[in-house]
Structure 1
Amino acid sequence: MPPADPSPAAQPPIEAPPLPAALLNPVPMVLVGAALWLLAAIASFTVADLADWRPVTVAGLGVGAVGSAIFLWQRSAARRGSKGAQTGLTVD
């Protein structure tokens, strides 16, 4: 009897286990990030020594809002089954 072929081609591909649903849901992380940017913006407008932070915090809030809007737009397109939508944005 010939020995088993140890080459990778002879082995079936190993599949990674699926991630838990809690790790696939981006909403909690988006909310935490938005809350932190909002706190930083409030601090920059209420504490005089943090006045230099104002443009950065306002830009952070703006970029977060635009990014969240694009993500929600893509996720709704994926749920509709749009042909050009990204994949992997929904949790089954």
Structure 2
Amino acid sequence: MAKWTPKHEAPEPLEGPVVATITGGTILWFVLFLVQLPFYGWFDDHGHTWWVWTCLAGGGLGLIGVWYVRGRDAALKRAAAEADAGPSPAAD
């Protein structure tokens, strides 16, 4: 079998409001957790408590995601600013 190799260049990655998207998703996970919390007894009776804890885990992982994308965004902005400034003069 021959190894599959692409015959064209990969497209550029899409850049958008990544920080806002991840923040919105994280807020949504926490809202879903809070909405389900009053019905915990029903979820427990029907064996669906994992729904509640999945929403909490999604919110917690979303906080890590917000931290990561904010750092990434800051690093991209720093790199762009350094590229616009041009090469710095060498210190003797």
TM-score (norm 2): 0.52
Gaps of 5+ in 1: 1-15, 83-92
Indicate which of 53, 69, 72 corresponds to 1:71: 69
Displacement over 6 Å in runs of 4+: none
Deviation at 1:69, TM superposition (A): 0.8
Identity within the alignment, %: 21
Deviation at 1:25, TM superposition (A): 1.9
Higher helix residue share = 2
TM-score (norm 1): 0.52
Call closer, same or farther: CA 1:27–1:74 in 2, change over 3 Å. Answer: closer
Give me the CA root mean square deviation. Answer: 2.7
Gaps of 5+ in 2: 1-10, 81-92
**Residue aligning to 1:44:** 36
Does 70-79 or 24-33 show the bigger shift? Answer: 24-33
Which has the bigger relative contact order, CA under 8 A and spacing at least 6?
2
**Residue aligning to 2:90:** none
SS of 1:47's partner is helix
